[in-house]
Chain A
């Protein structure tokens, strides 16, 4: 899989109206976005969920369900 590169960043940013980004800034943004996105891909591989059907809205309920027992 190809990483997000500075050309892709410039295209995406300009498509969203961010004309201020130059090549150097786009390279920095690409490095950050590529590393972050790669972590998602690697985690998905490790968890092997098949279809990802979990509901993100369950996060607070999960915290509550795992809460330290009161005592």
Chain B
């Protein structure tokens, strides 16, 4: 078995069947991490000994006929902001504040499914940044070309999965922080519906908006990971009790007859020519699969990102305010300014942005999903920029640079809708690009079904970067 080429599901099934051992899989990942880490800085910590011990226990369980769950023996790695009582997460900070000793519900569910945590991943400071720069932990770099950003804030997730350093990863998505790094590195990135996946024991940035998201190399892998963590959690009051779909089972239902909507306003404005070409090619491929491509006018999209920011910055200021007041120098300039923005947003504006949210969602769903089943738009409308081009720190260029990056992602954080970034080729600079699918609330199975069908007629997800030495 070629462990570098194999997907998460293929490896999980092979371990369970005894065709490969978990130790062999973990050792292969550790070898690749040792080779790649100096170039891309995807990891914050590597748990080599603990992961090998866990792999041996997993192999013993397989021999005894008592494999734990659908991720038995599979090495994963996650953004360094999911808590375990036994360790202190960096939160992407050089001087992380104390956060208590909560256990992440999400990690507990992955443990129960048999997954092995091989390390923790780089991230932007306090998950507040779309580029992947980190003044404290070092910048995470794009494995396709290390002069370029891996995007953020879950920067290590995209880089690690693209370079085949682990088989799946969880990050958080508050403005595009999973979808952007996924797009920049050529892997899939899912932001589930708000309320589908528990945040208990995850560092909060903006509790109204935060959602854990998934990085993986194909739709089936995303489906398996989502199935392991989705569903109600008594420790998170904002999680739905709606039944969890059979995401893997739904993949094979085909897409003929589905309507894929292409926005006629806002989202495609400013899209670079080479990105637009890849998007058009992906629509042609979907059309050949039998989907109907329909034009859609999106209602009032121009304010959605700023409405999201009202909530994010107000809540970030509330969360960071006491610590920031006393430890401002422990924050990089851009992060402390963005966190402080909430200090100047009127409380009434914050409350109004909250009260408007259900009505704006109703209007959006009624206007868009009466016409189509899923929206198709860019994840990132420009080619992946370099670290130098985006190293604006806290300068006057900060807001404009951020706005360009999150233009097509942040609106769906305010709306709470599920969104999936799917690789669809490369731009002229040799870096990956993607399309984004957005669905009705809790339509993750439909998004994954479209991505799975698309993967069947393209090979973008199977391509891997080469290490340049």
Contact = CB atoms under 8 A, between A and B. Distances in A.
B337 A40 contact: no
B440 A68 contact: yes
A60 B362 contact: no
Bin chain A's interface residue count: 35 or more
A66 B358 CA distance: 10
Interface stretch (B72-80, B141-149, B307-315): B307-315
A38 B349 CA distance: 9
A67 B441 contact: yes
A11 B288 CA distance: 60
Interface string B311-345: 00100000001001100110001001110111111
B194 interface: yes
B307 A12 contact: no
Given A40-B307, A63-B240, A68-B446, A56 B355 contact: yes
B349 A37 contact: yes
Given A47-B359, A70-B245, A12 B440 contact: no
Interface stretch (B122-130, B156-164, B391-399): B391-399
B328 A18 contact: yes
B356 interface: yes
B249 to A, nearest CB: 12
Given A40-B353, A66-B440, A67-B442, A60 B194 contact: yes
B374 to A, nearest CB: 10
Given A25-B340, A63-B195, A58 B358 contact: yes
Contacts of B358: 54-56, 58-59, 61-62
Interface in B416-469: 416, 439-443, 446
Interface of B (DSSP majority class):
helix
> Among B243, B303, B439, which residue has the most Cβ atoms of chain A within 10 A?
B303
Nearest to A25: B337
Nearest to B365: A66
B341 A32 contact: yes
Contacts of A31: 399
Nearest to A20: B328
B193 interface: yes
B446 to A, nearest CB: 6
A11 to B, nearest CB: 9
Contacts of A63: 193-195, 240, 361, 416, 441-442
B343 A36 contact: no
A64 B300 CA distance: 22
B264 interface: no
A37 B345 contact: yes
B359 A54 contact: yes
Given A17-B325, A18-B343, A32 B439 contact: no
A16 B310 contact: no
Contact of B310 (A9, A40, A52, A61): A40
A56 B414 CA distance: 13
Nearest to A5: B344
Contacts of A37: 310, 345-346, 349
Contact of A38 (B195, B306, B352): B306
Which of B238, B240, B352 counts the most chain A CB atoms within 10 A? B352
B361 A56 contact: no
B266 to A, nearest CB: 14
Interface of B: 193-195, 208, 238, 240, 242-243, 245, 300, 303, 305-307, 309-310, 313, 321, 324-325, 328-329, 333, 336-338, 340-346, 349, 351-362, 365, 394, 396, 398-399, 416, 439-443, 446
15 contacts: A9-B344, A12-B343, A18-B324, A25-B340, A29-B337, A29-B343, A32-B337, A36-B306, A39-B305, A39-B306, A43-B300, A62-B362, A63-B442, A67-B242, A67-B442
Given A25-B394, A60-B240, 17 more contacts: A9-B343, A12-B344, A18-B324, A20-B328, A25-B337, A25-B340, A29-B337, A29-B341, A29-B344, A36-B306, A56-B351, A59-B208, A59-B358, A63-B194, A64-B442, A66-B362, A67-B443
